[in-house]
Amino acid sequence: RDLVDRLAQYLRDFAAGGGELLASETPFEVEIPLPPHDGEGRALLRGVVDRVERRADGTVVIVDLKTGRAEPRTDKAVVENPQLLAYQLAHDAGAIAPSAGLPAGGAELLVLHTGTAKPYLEPRQAPLDDEARERFIARLQHAIAVMAGTRFAAPYEQHCRDEHAHGVCRIHVVGAVSAP
């Protein structure tokens, strides 16, 4: 019930501020260019955005709803957030139909478990500039190259330490065990 009340407060504030919901649960697909030396093939980045909002200033902000307790809570914490970067890349490519061609206003998380008296937090990622866009595409290209590979390194020193995926362990080698 508390999360519903917090979301309802956000929606009231959003409407009072002159915002307009353009779409919700909207799928997108963006082709990621592969470096020329990587041969033939293509890579697609696909996803679904929670909310596409036009703010009172006319810009489009992509909003991702978060209900977890360990979500980023500051603008600084989402500067390199790959999920928000992917949404912005999709918007810039015109892959989110309701917002195609409209000016970008960035992306943000709508965090409902705030740990504060505030009903919600909105850590915001600035609109992509050319440098940020190229840096993110390079990150994607690196991930694509790794996933297309035939060998994968198992970083066992990070075994089961991901706070967002507890219990999802990386592949690793278990050392031999011998009895005394």
pLDDT of the residue at 107: 98
Please name which of 103, 79, 108 lies closest in space to residue 92, comparing C-alpha atoms. 103
pLDDT of the residue at 117: 85
Measured distance CA(7)–CA(63) in Å, rounded: 13
pLDDT of the residue at 47: 96
The predicted-structure confidence for 65-98, as pLDDT tens digits, reads as follows 999 888 999 999 999 999 999 999 999 999 999 9
More confident residue, 169 or 114: 114
**Residues paired with residue 107 on neighbouring β-strands, in sequence order:** 62, 125
User: In the predicted model, what is the mean pLDDT of residues 38-53?
Assistant: 88
Contact 151, 140 (CB under 8 A): no
pLDDT of the residue at 152: 67
Residue 134 pLDDT greater than 80, yes or no: yes
**∠ CA 118-23-42, rounded to 5°:** 110
pTM to 2 decimals?
A: 0.82
